[in-house]
Amino acid sequence: MAHKLHFNLSKFYFIYYFFVGLFVPYWGLFLTYKSFTPIEIGFLLSFFQLSRIISPNFWGWVADHTEKRSFWIRLTSFFGFLGFIGVFWADSFSFIFFTMMAMSIFTSSTLPLAESLTLSHLATTNGHYSKIRAWGSFGFIIASFGFGFIFDSIGIKHLLITLLLTQLLIFIFSFGIPEKEYSKDKGVIPSVLKIVCKKEVASLLIACAMMVTSHGLLYNFFSIYLSEEGYSNSLIGFLWALGVCCEIIVFLNMPKILRFLNIRQILLFSLAVAIARFFLIGNYTEYLYLIILAQTLHAFTFGSFHVASIELVNKFFTGKNHARGQAIYNSITYGLGGTVGGLGGGYIIEYYSSSTAFTLAAIFPLMGFVIIYLGLKRNKISKSLFD
């Protein structure tokens, strides 16, 4: 039974991140093909992040209140599919904006709900989150690498139908995720606001937002930046896939890594690596081997950092606060952080250069490093996470 459950969870993560593997590397290139400016592209792409500030909190509250996370995963993925259909008739900035807004209100909530439900299942089936999540990375690699060659051959305009079919599969695969009863809280259930206001929780969320701010620029403009520097779609797809390949290695080995490093050390190391990564991207695009090196560092700037963050969020928000905790994490980090990185990056690229934007992005993980170092103390968190 547990094996079938883990297979269904892995299958859902695979197809969800297959969509991400199509969208992140190529949607910006598609908007460039449609002749939008960097500011317009930054705004359109950042709306997906902006919607994460509000939508996941609403759907997280609904899921916790009704105790039916699986149902809401199916509903949000279905309406995400319907919303994306409008893109086929959208040519103007305003039309694409409103279509993406309708879509993102739902799709921005599907993953936080799935994360919450997955962690609840794994808590009682001896599964490990990083191994399930690795299948999402496999999906990303196949989409980003494989379709780079396809779009070089048939054109980026065929991205739309591929994304729509993938959205449909996300909805279909969501039926493989069964419901899970909420764990019973013992004693008084603390409010979500009270949890968030704790120093260690606030420090984690702010530091994560700093990390994702730099990645918001990466997700929105890395492909466009490389294309301007003469990289082909297939090479761009390869570089995205390379980063995720290295991410998978970390995901599969996180249980071993946690034997030698504690959560706080992993977060600090990941943030330090991110400083170097964005400096390399901002200054050395003419050297392919250095960009390859920068992409291998994705294993740490996303892989180890994401797993460590999810572990702490899962620890801080328990019971009936679980889905809302995941929603708050996504809202503050990917919502607020991703929006700042995407919109701010678009303006910097428009008025200065892509190189300047990526170099400045290194400042944000530096700030995150300081926040984690000062605000996340070992004695404030359960000892089991640090030994």
CA distance 367 to 213: 11
User: How many of the other CB atoms lie within 10 Å of CB of 281?
Assistant: 27
pTM value is: 0.76
Q: Name the CATH superfamily for 2-180+193-385.
A: MFS general substrate transporter like domains (1.20.1250.20)
pLDDT at residue number 385: 45
Amino acid, res. 51 = S
How far apart, in Å, are the Cα atoms of 223 and each of 229, 230, 236, 238, 373? 10, 11, 6, 11, 32
Q: What is the pLDDT of residues 35-51, one digit of tens each?
A: 888 888 877 777 667 77
Percentage of residues of the chain with pLDDT beyond 70: 93
Judge contact between 127 and 6, C-beta under 8 A. Answer: yes
Mean pLDDT for 217-245 is: 91
Q: What is the pLDDT of residues 123-170, one digit of tens each?
A: 777 767 778 888 988 898 899 888 888 888 888 888 889 999 999 999
Q: Which among 346, 150, 289, 160 has a CA at the least distance from the CA of 232?
A: 150
Percentage of residues of the chain with pLDDT beyond 90: 35
pLDDT at residue number 163: 92
Bigger pLDDT: 88 vs 384: 88
For the chain, the structural domain boundaries read: 2-180+193-385
DSSP 8-state symbol, 46: H
CA distance 174 to 40: 33
Helix, strand, coil proportions of the chain in percent (round to 5)?
85, 0, 15
Does the structure show a pLDDT above 60 at 384?
no
pLDDT at residue number 346: 86
Tokens of 267: 């977060």
Phi (first) and psi of residue 267, to 5 degrees: -60, -45
Bigger pLDDT: 219 vs 297: 297
